[in-house]
A and B are shown apart, each in its own frame.
Chain A
Amino acid sequence: MTPPLRSAAPRLVVWLTGVSFAVIGGVLALVFVLLSWQTRAGIVTAAAAELERSQQWFAEIESRRAREWRLQAMTLAENPTLKAAVDTYLTETAAGAPPEELLPTIDQELAKLAEVLDAQALAVVDVDGRVLSAGGPTSPDWRRGQLVPELQHTDATIGAAVVAASRLYLATYVPLTIGADRVGAIVSAVPLDVAYAEGLASGARADVAVVHDGRIVASSSGVPPGLDGARLARQEPFEADGELLVVRRLMAVNATHTYAISSVTQAAAVATAGLTRVFLGVGLVALVLAGLASAWMARLLSRPIARLTTSLAHMTDTRDLRQPLPRDGVILELDALADRFNALRAAVLQAEDESDAAYAGVIGALAAALDARDPYTAGHSQRVASLAVLIAETLGMPGDACETLRLGALLHDVGKIGINDAVLRKTTRLTSEEFDHIKMHPVLGARILQPLEFLRPHIPVVELHHERPDGRGYPHGLVGDAIPLAARIAHVADAFDAMTSARAYRPALPASHALEELRRHAGSDFDARVVEAMIEVWDARLAPVGGVVSIDPLPFRNPSDYISSVRSRAAARDSRLVAS
């Protein structure tokens, strides 16, 4: 198996997903920030305009309210009982006899009217601004006899800021007249305190500050600390504590002004909150889509690559280059890669085949050279190979096995390279030591072929071509079917060619004699079926041509022929594969 990957590098999926996600996310974030910023700026402008409009509107309402307030006070000033009581009191007091019994009447009248009008203070003053009587919750500030300087000798019927008992009041002053004469005034007043500011603030839906002589004397809870009257008097938007505030004057009386202060930032925050939620939602969905798209893209890319990798790993594991890499048909570049790899694979295969063939050629040449060492054995290996193939074909052996047999038979005596020439060429009878030496050649041959992977299928033919069915063969003394058929065929073919070839110590036996000899030893020395097949081969194939064994299929005469035969065999096997 291919060893597991040791690389710490992130997977392609991670790369692709990460990069595209980061890019899309970054773009989204940038768009979000820009849009949000621009929208916020727009909303701030709109909110400022809206606030100014509503403040202006409220200021108008306030001035109308003040006017109505004054009209109410004017109506009060026409109250005949009140006027008669006040005038009578003042006239008689001036004449030296204050009619104290009238005061409760006046007090009660004022208290009643104050309650009806919901006035904080309803007072009657004489023309000198001296308090005669007062009603309402804050009447203790309006003590009888107290002088309110601002109300002295004034013709004003408009609002006035007055100080009664050192509290600042907003007063509506209406003269009490009898005929063409002013006898005093009725004053409806409200203290300019925090409650007043809070009341206005809830109406204006803004914060309210009351400024007197340039100093803030009362303000609702939301007014930022550290403000001064001058800043408010400019009525321009300004920043405080990071908030943009707009200011509008609601009322101006003498040195007393009230201002509405609204936070544009807060108004905008309310408006942008929904927008932010929408942006975040859209952004989230976009990010999820981006993630999915990235993952899909990454899969699209990485899956064919993984498939290629798997194919390569399989090739490596099985050492089989015959299976070409599949084309995915999805990505052009990957298909091109597979094609190039397949071309490379074909070239490697070809080179491998060529080197195999070259090697086999070398071995074959070696075998031929061995044969050539002894004139009596010249051509022996080639003839044995041809003969063995003929026998195998007669026995119905499959083509692949025939080929294995052919090369094995060709190389069957390659082990004789390790046998002394003196022993090999000896024309006299061999000693038992010499014979034991000769008997080593199958094992030697197997040992020579052993390192060559592609020659391994042939080793049994080489190693076992001197085994006998009766177990008296060498080198292992295998019995019967334990000996591969190919080795048994090679044994028969080897023996036949040896007998029909001349030796230094004897002439060649005629084929009939050799066949007789084979038949005689069938079952003991030779496999009976193979001997039968040999006889059939002789009768059907060799006798008609004068007993000459054709060595036509032998590749060793011309190695390139063999190579082309190998190639064609490979091509036949790969016929279903796409050739590059």
Chain B
Amino acid sequence: MRQAPYPIARRLLAALVALAPIGAAAAQDAAPGRITGTVSLASASSRRLATPGAYPGRRVSPVSEREASELRNVVVFVRLSGAQAAPAARVVVRQTDEEFVPHVVAITRGSTVEFPNDDIVFHNVFSLSRAATFDLGRYRKGATRSVTFTRPGIVKVYCHLHSHMSALVRVFDHPHFTVAGGDGRFTLDGLPPGSYEIVAWHERVGEAHTAITVASGSASQVAFSLPLKDP
């Protein structure tokens, strides 16, 4: 495990490890294993603004909801050295109330993300990221544009017209990843038995990783707390 790349606000640092044993799956030889666990954010990001900046916030959702939904922005994945074949998918990231919803999506390489515009204003989706550089141009309510991501990596997505909007697309070249739920729970299915490095990653807070052994047909449990304390 290594230290998160960003410093964290000391005031809110509190490790929370909530390990909830889940019903064990039936043990089967060579059957894929499962990893379940929870992610908790021990603190708000030190980057979180006390004040919304130059312009008043246009966010519709209340702050508490936003804090809770931050767990949905945590990507949990298995770090693998090689690529594995994975089916392409089609994912939708809506532009609603001047926000990308969902804020974070994780997809396999070759998948396509649609960016429909639900707002009455124009949006202009673009990215400067190395994994996918694109500019979808301006389009009105009801229209949609899509991007097919062909390289693994982190893709930050913005709107040229609304600089507070951002989304994140994490592209993997294997199928062993997921995004935590609003309650912090996650499940990784279909892992062959073996030892893995499992990573939980948040774009602002950084990542936490841990080694885990997956037994055939069994469920392993792991709990992440982000950010991590110094050992």
Residues on A facing B (Cβ under 8 Å): 71, 74-75, 77-81, 83-85, 87-88, 91-92, 94-95, 97, 99, 101-102, 105, 127-128, 153, 155, 157, 174-175, 177-183
Query: Could you tell me if A127 and B6 are in contact, using CB atoms closer than 8 angstroms?
Result: yes
Please tell me which one of the listed residues B46, B103, B156 contacts residue A127 in the complex, with CB atoms under 8 A apart.
B46
Known: A84-B156, A91-B156, A175-B53. 5 other contacts (CB 8 A): A88-B156, A99-B128, A128-B7, A177-B53, A178-B165
- From B49, B126, B168, residue with most partner A Cβ within 10 Å: B49
Residues in chain B near residue A77, CB distance under 8 A: 53-54
Residues in chain A near residue B55, CB distance under 8 A: 78
Please tell me which one of the listed residues B54, B59, B130, B159 contacts residue A75 in the complex, with CB atoms under 8 A apart.
B54
Interface residues on B, range: 35 or more
Nearest-Cβ distance from residue B66 to partner chain A, whole angstroms: 7
Query: Could you tell me if A155 and B163 are in contact, using CB atoms closer than 8 angstroms?
Result: no
**A536 CA / B66 CA spacing, docked (Å):** 174
Nearest-Cβ distance from residue A301 to partner chain B, whole angstroms: 92
Q: Mark B30-51, 1 if CB is under 8 A from A, else 0.
A: 0000000000000001111111
Nearest-Cβ distance from residue B88 to partner chain A, whole angstroms: 23
Could you show 28 A-B contacts with beta carbons less than 8 Å apart?
A75-B54, A78-B55, A79-B163, A80-B158, A81-B160, A83-B163, A84-B128, A84-B163, A87-B158, A91-B156, A91-B168, A94-B5, A94-B6, A99-B129, A99-B130, A128-B7, A174-B53, A175-B49, A177-B49, A178-B165, A178-B166, A179-B59, A179-B99, A179-B164, A179-B165, A180-B52, A181-B204, A182-B49
Query: Could you tell me if B164 and A178 are in contact, using CB atoms closer than 8 angstroms?
Result: yes
Residue of A with least CB distance to B203: A91
Residues on B facing A (Cβ under 8 Å): 5-7, 45-55, 57, 59, 66, 99, 103, 126-130, 153-154, 156, 158-166, 168, 201, 203-204, 206-207
Nearest-Cβ distance from residue B153 to partner chain A, whole angstroms: 8
Please tell me which one of the listed residues B45, B50, B129, B164 contacts residue A155 in the complex, with CB atoms under 8 A apart.
B50
Residues in chain B near residue A128, CB distance under 8 A: 7
- Given the interface pairs A94-B6, A178-B164, the reply to whether A83 lies near B156 with Cβ below 8 Å is no
Query: Could you tell me if B48 and A181 are in contact, using CB atoms closer than 8 angstroms?
Result: yes
Residues in chain B near residue A155, CB distance under 8 A: 49-51
**A91 CA / B155 CA spacing, docked (Å):** 9
Please tell me which one of the listed residues B5, B49, B52, B160 contacts residue A80 in the complex, with CB atoms under 8 A apart.
B160
**A180 CA / B47 CA spacing, docked (Å):** 8
Nearest-Cβ distance from residue A128 to partner chain B, whole angstroms: 7
Nearest-Cβ distance from residue B134 to partner chain A, whole angstroms: 12
Residue of A with least CB distance to B6: A94
Query: Could you tell me if A80 and B163 are in contact, using CB atoms closer than 8 angstroms?
Result: yes
- From B59, B128, B204, B206, residue with most partner A Cβ within 10 Å: B128
Residues in chain A near residue B5, CB distance under 8 A: 94
- Given the interface pairs A94-B6, A181-B204, the reply to whether A84 lies near B126 with Cβ below 8 Å is yes
Query: Could you tell me if B128 and A180 are in contact, using CB atoms closer than 8 angstroms?
Result: no
Nearest-Cβ distance from residue A93 to partner chain B, whole angstroms: 8
Query: Could you tell me if A182 and B128 are in contact, using CB atoms closer than 8 angstroms?
Result: no
Residues in chain A near residue B128, CB distance under 8 A: 84-85, 88, 99, 102, 105
**A178 CA / B45 CA spacing, docked (Å):** 13
- Given the interface pairs A127-B6, A155-B49, the reply to whether A180 lies near B57 with Cβ below 8 Å is yes
Nearest-Cβ distance from residue A77 to partner chain B, whole angstroms: 6
Query: Could you tell me if B129 and A88 are in contact, using CB atoms closer than 8 angstroms?
Result: yes
Residues in chain B near residue A80, CB distance under 8 A: 158-163
**A526 CA / B191 CA spacing, docked (Å):** 199
Residues in chain A near residue B166, CB distance under 8 A: 84, 87, 178-179
Residues in chain B near residue A102, CB distance under 8 A: 128
Residues in chain A near residue B204, CB distance under 8 A: 181
Residues in chain A near residue B59, CB distance under 8 A: 179-180
**A128 CA / B49 CA spacing, docked (Å):** 15
**A532 CA / B15 CA spacing, docked (Å):** 181
Query: Could you tell me if B49 and A174 are in contact, using CB atoms closer than 8 angstroms?
Result: no
- Given the interface pairs A180-B57, A181-B47, A183-B47, the reply to whether A92 lies near B6 with Cβ below 8 Å is no
Residue of B with least CB distance to A75: B54
Nearest-Cβ distance from residue B39 to partner chain A, whole angstroms: 18
Nearest-Cβ distance from residue A155 to partner chain B, whole angstroms: 6
**A157 CA / B54 CA spacing, docked (Å):** 9
Nearest-Cβ distance from residue B183 to partner chain A, whole angstroms: 21
Query: Could you tell me if B154 and A95 are in contact, using CB atoms closer than 8 angstroms?
Result: yes
**A183 CA / B153 CA spacing, docked (Å):** 20
Residue of A with least CB distance to B128: A88
**A92 CA / B57 CA spacing, docked (Å):** 26
**A87 CA / B203 CA spacing, docked (Å):** 10
Residues in chain B near residue A71, CB distance under 8 A: 54
**A105 CA / B165 CA spacing, docked (Å):** 20
Give the 5 A-B CB pairs with smallest separation, nearest first: A74-B54, A80-B163, A84-B158, A94-B5, A182-B47
**A102 CA / B53 CA spacing, docked (Å):** 25
**A181 CA / B158 CA spacing, docked (Å):** 14
Nearest-Cβ distance from residue B125 to partner chain A, whole angstroms: 11
**A122 CA / B57 CA spacing, docked (Å):** 25
Query: Could you tell me if A94 and B206 are in contact, using CB atoms closer than 8 angstroms?
Result: yes
**A31 CA / B130 CA spacing, docked (Å):** 88
Residue of B with least CB distance to A81: B160
Residues in chain A near residue B127, CB distance under 8 A: 84, 88
Query: Could you tell me if B48 and A182 are in contact, using CB atoms closer than 8 angstroms?
Result: yes
Residue of A with least CB distance to B126: A84
Residue of A with least CB distance to B54: A74
Residues in chain A near residue B168, CB distance under 8 A: 91
Query: Could you tell me if B47 and A127 are in contact, using CB atoms closer than 8 angstroms?
Result: yes
Query: Could you tell me if A177 and B156 are in contact, using CB atoms closer than 8 angstroms?
Result: no
